[in-house]
Chains A and B, each alone.
Chain A
Amino acid sequence: MIVALPSYAKIMALTAQTIIAYRFNIVFELVGLFLQIFLLKIVWTSIYADRGAVEGTDLATLVTYLTIANLQIWVIWPETTWFLQRKVRDGKIAQDLARPVGLMGQLLAHQVGSSLVFLPLAIAALPIAFFVGVLQAPPSVEAGVLYVASVLLAYAVVTWMGLLMGMIAFWTLETSGIQAIYRFANLFFAGGLVPLWLFPETLRTIAELLPFQTQANIPVSIYVGRLTGADALRGLGVQAVWVVILGLVVRVMWGRAMRKVVIQGG
C-alpha cells in the first residue's frame, strides 16, 4: 500500500492532465450547470411569490441550498463508473491488471485525481454562482465545519457508488442504463431539484432510506442551518453508516468481479 503511494500520486496527476486536455468540455459543463441553477431560481422565485417562508425556510436560503447542492453534485461525480466500464469493454483492463499496483488503488486515484480538477474550478466559479443563484454564508462557524465533515463523507459514498456501478460492467459490459438512472436518482433524491423537506411525506421517507440523500441533502441542509446540533450529528451518523454498508458491498462485489474477470476478446 505504502510503496504504491507515488504511483497513485502520478495517476492522479495524469488524470488531472487528461481532463485539462479537454478544457472546453469543462466550460460547457459549467455553462449547463449554471443554467440549471438559474432556471431553478426562476421557478422557485415564482412559486414562492410573496410568501416569506415555506416550511420554515425563506427563498434565499432555499436557493442557496439548490445552488450548493448542484455545484457539489457536479464536483463529486462518480468518475470511475464510466472509466471502469470503458476499460472492461475494450479489454484494456488486462493491461491495468498486469501492473504491480492494484487495480482498485488505480481506480481510486483516478477518482481523486478528477476531483482535484473539479473542486478548485467550482470554488473559482463561486462568484458566478453568487449572481446566477443565491449564495449565503453558513449561519455559524459550527455549521461550516460540520458541512466540510459531511462533504467528506458524501465523497466516500459517491466513490463507492461509482465503483459499484462501474463493476456492473464485469457482468454486463455496459453501464449507460444504470448511469442514466443514477443521474436522475442522484439529482432528485439527493435534493438537486427540490429540497427533501418539501417532498410529500411518503416520498420523503423513501428518499431518507436511500443513499442518495447523503450525497447532497445532508451536507447542504447542515450548511444552510436546517440541520443543527444533534440533528446534524445524526445526519453525519447516517452518512457514516452508508459509507460502511457500501464499502462492504464494494468489497464483496470486487472479490466476485476479480474472480469473474473474463477479458473481452480473449
Chain B
Amino acid sequence: MPEIIRVHELRKEFRRAKRAPGLIGALRTLFTRRYETTRAVDGVSFSLQEGELVGYLGRNGAGKSTTVKLLTGILHPTSGEVLVGGLVPWRERERNALNIGVVFGQRSQLWWDLPLRDSFDLISVMYRMEKERYRRNLERFTSLLDMGPFMNTPVRQLSLGQRMRGDLAASMLYEPRILYLDEPTVGLDVVAKDRIRTFIAETNRTEGTTVILTTHDMRDIERLCRRVILIEAGQVLFDGAVSALVARYAPGRVLVLHLADGTVEPALSGTELVRREGPQVWLRFDPVARPVAQLIAEATARYQVVDIAIKEPDLEQVVRHIFEERGEAGRARTVTE
C-alpha cells in the first residue's frame, strides 16, 4: 500500500490576547494587551498508508482538531511538512479539497433551513460529479444510512443522529480518498453510534478510504481502528497497534471484585489498585507471576466477595490511566507569557 499522508515535525503556535477575568479585567484588556503563545501542535510526525483507519486520540486541547485543520489546509503551520496525496494542503487547498472529506461533529456543513437533499445537490456540483454517479451514490448512501424518511426535511428539524448521518453522507458522496472525522459520534445515543460506526467500517473496507478518526469514545476506536496515534501536549505519545498500547501501558489482566463491605481496602500481594467505584475495585496483576486460580482463591478466602470477574484491561481504562498519570502537563503548553 502506498503512503498517502506524511506529516513531519509539524508545529502550530497560536498567539492570543490574554484576557483577565471579570469586568475590571475586561476593561483593562481594552488598554493593555498582553499576548501569550500556545503551541497546539509541537513536532508531530507520522505517516499513513492508503486504506488505513487510524484513531487520533488525545484530551480536549491536546492538539487533535488543530492537526486535522492543518491536514485539510484550513490552517497554516508555524513550521513542518505535510503531504496529503502528494499535495501540500495549505498551498493547494482547493485541489486538496477534492481528495478529502471532512466531518466536524460539532459543526454541521448542511444548509440549516433547506431540505437535506439540497445540501447534497450543492455538493455534487462543487465536487463536479456526473449526474449518473451522483444519483447512484446518493441512492446507496440513502439506503445505507436509512435517510429516505427525512431526505426532504429541512435540516433544522432533524435529530442529532439524523443530522450526523446527513453530514457523513455529505462528506463521502463524492468518494474522497481521505476522510477526516472529528468526533463523528459526539452526543449520539448507542443505536445511532453503532449505525455510524458500521457505516465507517463498511466504507473503509469496500472503498479503501483512508480514515483519520478523532474521538473521545474509546468504543469507536476499539470497534474501528487497529492503529492509534495518541497525542499529548501537541506531541505524539504513542503510535502503534491498539493492542500494543494496552500492553504497554496496562500489561496483564484486571481482577474486578464486588465486595460486600465497601470500606475494606483489599491488599493482595502482586496486585495494584487501578480503580475503585464504591464496593467495586479493579486490581491489575500479571497472570504469569500470579496465577488466576490462586489469586481468586486468596481473594475469596480473605474478603467477603459478592461477585468476581477477570478482565482484559480495556482501552478506556488505559487511556484514562495515561491521562491521569500525566495530569495537567498534558494540555497545550504556553510558550511565552
A–B complex contacts, Cβ < 8 Å, 18 sampled: A11-B122, A14-B114, A17-B113, A18-B113, A22-B113, A91-B104, A91-B106, A92-B109, A94-B72, A94-B102, A94-B107, A98-B102, A99-B94, A99-B97, A100-B97, A263-B74, A266-B66, A266-B69
User: Which of chain A's residues 67-124 have a Cβ closer than 8 Å to chain B?
Assistant: 90-92, 94-95, 97-102
The stretch that binds A, out of B44-52, B124-132, B189-197, is: B124-132
- B333 CB to closest chain A CB (Å) equals 16
User: Which of chain B's residues 121-162 have a Cβ closer than 8 Å to chain A?
Assistant: 121-122, 125-128, 154
B66, B104, B125: which contacts A10 (Cβ < 8 A)?
B125
User: Which of chain B's residues 292-329 have a Cβ closer than 8 Å to chain A?
Assistant: none
A sample of 4 more A-B contacts (CB under 8 A), given A91-B106, A262-B14, A266-B40, is A92-B107, A92-B109, A94-B69, A97-B74
**Complex Cα–Cα for A266 and B104 (A):** 11
Q: Which residues of chain B have C-beta atoms less than 8 A from A266's C-beta?
A: 14, 40, 65-66, 69, 75
- Asked whether B95 lies within 8 Å of A98 as measured between CB atoms, the reply is no
- Asked whether B126 lies within 8 Å of A100 as measured between CB atoms, the reply is yes
**Complex Cα–Cα for A22 and B107 (A):** 23
State whether A7 and B125 are in contact (beta carbons under 8 Å apart), knowing that A14-B111, A98-B97, A266-B66 are contacts in the complex: yes
Q: Which residues of chain B have C-beta atoms less than 8 A from A10's C-beta?
A: 121-122, 125-126
Q: Residue on A with the closest CB to B74?
A: A97
State whether A7 and B126 are in contact (beta carbons under 8 Å apart), knowing that A14-B118, A90-B107, A266-B65 are contacts in the complex: yes
Q: Point out which of B14, B93, B118, B126 has the most chain A C-beta atoms below 10 A from its C-beta.
A: B126
- A31 CB to closest chain B CB (Å) equals 22
**Complex Cα–Cα for A261 and B77 (A):** 11
- Provide the B57-82 mask, 1 if CB < 8 A to any CB of A, else 0: 00000000110010011111000000
Is B259 an interface residue when CB atoms closer than 8 A count as contact? no
- Asked whether B65 lies within 8 Å of A97 as measured between CB atoms, the reply is no
Contact residues of A with B, CB < 8 Å?
Answer: 3, 6-7, 10-11, 14, 17-18, 21-22, 90-92, 94-95, 97-102, 259, 261-263, 265-266
Contact residues of B with A, CB < 8 Å?
Answer: 14, 40, 65-66, 69, 72-76, 93-95, 97-98, 100, 102, 104, 106-109, 111, 113-114, 118, 121-122, 125-128, 154
- Asked whether A261 lies within 8 Å of B126 as measured between CB atoms, the reply is no
- Asked whether A102 lies within 8 Å of B94 as measured between CB atoms, the reply is yes
Classify the interface of chain B: helix, strand, loop or mixed. Answer: mixed
Q: Residue on A with the closest CB to B64?
A: A266
- B158 CB to closest chain A CB (Å) equals 15
Q: Which residues of chain B have C-beta atoms less than 8 A from A91's C-beta?
A: 104, 106-107
- B47 CB to closest chain A CB (Å) equals 22
Q: Which residues of chain A have C-beta atoms less than 8 A from B111's C-beta?
A: 14, 18
* A-B CB proximity, top 10 nearest: A95-B109, A100-B97, A10-B125, A7-B126, A21-B113, A97-B74, A18-B113, A98-B72, A100-B98, A10-B122
Q: Which residues of chain A have C-beta atoms less than 8 A from B72's C-beta?
A: 94, 97-98
Q: Which residues of chain B have C-beta atoms less than 8 A from A98's C-beta?
A: 72-74, 93, 97, 100, 102
- B60 CB to closest chain A CB (Å) equals 10
- Asked whether B126 lies within 8 Å of A101 as measured between CB atoms, the reply is yes
**Complex Cα–Cα for A265 and B14 (A):** 12
Q: Which residues of chain B have C-beta atoms less than 8 A from A90's C-beta?
A: 107
- Asked whether A263 lies within 8 Å of B126 as measured between CB atoms, the reply is no
**Complex Cα–Cα for A90 and B14 (A):** 18
Q: Point out which of A7, A11, A98, A101 has the most chain B C-beta atoms below 10 A from its C-beta.
A: A98
**Complex Cα–Cα for A265 and B65 (A):** 9
A7, A21, A95, A261: which contacts B154 (Cβ < 8 A)?
A21
- Asked whether A259 lies within 8 Å of B76 as measured between CB atoms, the reply is yes
**Complex Cα–Cα for A101 and B93 (A):** 9
Q: Which residues of chain B have C-beta atoms less than 8 A from A99's C-beta?
A: 94, 97, 126
- B165 CB to closest chain A CB (Å) equals 17
B75, B93, B109, B121: which contacts A263 (Cβ < 8 A)?
B75
